[in-house]
Amino acid sequence: MNSHDLEKWDKEYVWHPFTQMKTYRESKPLIIERGEGSYLFDVEGNRYLDGYASLWVNVHGHNEPELNNALIEQVEKVAHSTLLGSANVPSILLAKKLAEITPGHLSKVFYSDTGSAAVEISLKVAYQYWKNIDPVKYQHKNKFVSLNEAYHGDTVGAVSVGGMDLFHRIFKPLLFERIPTPSPYTYRMTEYGDQEAVKNYCIDELEKLLQDQAEEIAGLIIEPLVQGAAGIITHPPGFLKAVEQLCKKYNILLICDEVAVGFGRTGTLFACEQEDVVPDIMCIGKGITGGYMPLAATIMNEQIFNSFLGEPDEHKTFYHGHTYTGNQLACALALKNIELIERRDLVKDIQKKSKQLSEKLQSLYELPIVGDVRQRGLMIGIEIVKDRQTKEPFTIQENIVSSIIQNARENGLIIRELGPVITMMPILSMSEKELDIMVETVYRSIQDVS
């Protein structure tokens, strides 16, 4: 088996996610063989800085000895047994730990294995909650509000609350109705004024719709502080807090989807802490195992959990579960990941590094096709435009953004684009020097197409 065979078999047998396979098969694939710290190595021995944290998941670096050992220790005990009718040690300890570290009274943990499933569970729980507490009074509370350009995953429920037309429009006939509300995308909403004015406009619009429709709304789901997949849309300060207040005022459950922003990514362990917001339900995933195993969780407060208690014939049971719910290997890794985050004071380190990074990022404005540089913690989006004045984007045919990504790869950096936005999501443990290299490589990669 050599790299040519692997390339041939990859193109012949593997269907890659979110990928136009016709284009993919015409390109040279990047086939990763191993990882070490902040770097990945392909089958030909080339080294790449992982500026995408392997899809926003990696926390402490690749091939991390303590995480490796946690996995080995657990696999030598047991790899998996079901949570259906029995419990297991790591899932108990992890749930207790998550209850301690998540905000407010979030304390009841329902496990799953992807962010999409965590979102799906939050929607089903929120829907059933109202039926459990009063099926007559709340018979119409069946809908969900979400932001324009929201992304909450790819299962049918998660797509239903999504707002990214490109990904979601084909599936419309399969979806339940969502109620959209404006997203404060300040860069593209300058007609409303500065970010404070954009925030006020979006909050006013949300309040108007809640005034009219709150009786039909079970919950509002939001990516706190930053809409990641939409292109790192950073929300104005105070937006999340104002959303929380409206949810309380109009008796709507607030679901914070922390799948992308949780575990330190924005400079606090959970993003909603920055606005002192405590959701009714929180979804977490991605960084939970430090980037080692698929695991996600939906965490509820006691009031929601209690509404599901009753006799079997009251039909308040939550009929949901997956085969690998509460998998021991994943839970053991998550416990070790959280222990390392705490022991290494990673969140403070991220705060320090993001300050240094924001100074460095300013240099990108020297490049005329850089329209906007957005950053929250170690989440960075660079919006590429044809004309800085008009903010006109390049067309897909012009192929500018993907050429920048390709240049970066040739320069030894893995990053990705989201539409017209170049996104950098470095591994959270990356050193200041590596972060500098990441930005310098992006600078050169943009310069080369300008």
Residues near ligand PLP (CB under 6 A) are 114-116, 119, 151-153, 223, 228-229, 257, 259-260, 285
Decide whether 116 or 429 has the Cβ nearer to ligand PLP.
116
Say if strands 416-418 and 421-424 run parallel, antiparallel, or are unpaired. antiparallel
What is the closest distance, in whole angstroms, from the C-beta atom of residue 183 to ligand PLP in the complex?
13
338 — phi, psi (to 5°)? -65, -40
Q: Which is nearer to ligand PLP, 260 or 333 (CB)?
A: 260
Q: What is the smallest separation between the CB atom of 409 and ligand PLP, expressed in angstroms? A: 21
Instruction: Check whether 321 is labelled as a binding-site residue.
Output: yes
Q: How far is the CB of 154 from ligand PLP (least distance, A)?
A: 6
CA dist., res. 416 & res. 424, Å (int): 7
What is the distance between the alpha carbons of residues 203 and 311, in angstroms, rounded to a whole number? Answer: 41
257 in a known ligand binding site:
yes
List % helix, strand, coil for the chain (3-state, nearest 5): 45, 20, 40
DSSP-assigned letter for residue 263: T
First to last CA, the chain: 40
* Nearer to ligand PLP (CB atom), residue 222 or residue 413: 222
Contacts of residues 91-97 at CB distance under 8 Å and 24 or more positions apart, as own/partner, are 91/326, 91/327, 91/328, 91/331, 93/331, 93/335, 94/331, 94/334, 94/335, 97/335, 97/338
403 is in an annotated binding site: no
Q: How far is the CB of 186 from ligand PLP (least distance, A)?
A: 19
Residue 388 to residue 370: CA distance in whole angstroms: 7
Measured from the CB atom, is 153 or 157 closer to ligand PLP?
Answer: 153
For tokens 């004015």, name the residue. Answer: 197
CB of 119 to ligand PLP, least distance (A): 5
For residue 443, give Cα distances in angstroms to 233, 396, 398, 404: 21, 21, 19, 10
Q: Which is nearer to ligand PLP, 240 or 369 (CB)?
A: 240
How many Å separate Cα 317 from the centre of its chain?
Answer: 29
Give the residue closest to ligand PLP by C-beta. Answer: 115
Q: In this complex, which beta carbon is closest to ligand PLP, that of residue 203 or of residue 260?
A: 260
Q: For residue 159, which amino acid is it? A: V
The verdict on whether residue 219 carries a ligand-binding annotation is no
Output the smallest distance, CB 440 to ligand PLP, in A: 27
**315 annotated ligand binder:** no
Minimum CB separation of residue 326 from ligand PLP in Å reads: 17
**CB closer to ligand PLP out of 229 and 335:** 229
16 marked as part of a ligand binding site = no
323 among the known binding-site residues?
Answer: yes
Residue 441 annotated as binding site: no
Going by the annotation, the residues of the binding site for substrate are 151, 286, 321, 416
Going by the annotation, the residues of the binding site for pyridoxal 5'-phosphate are 115-116, 257, 322-323
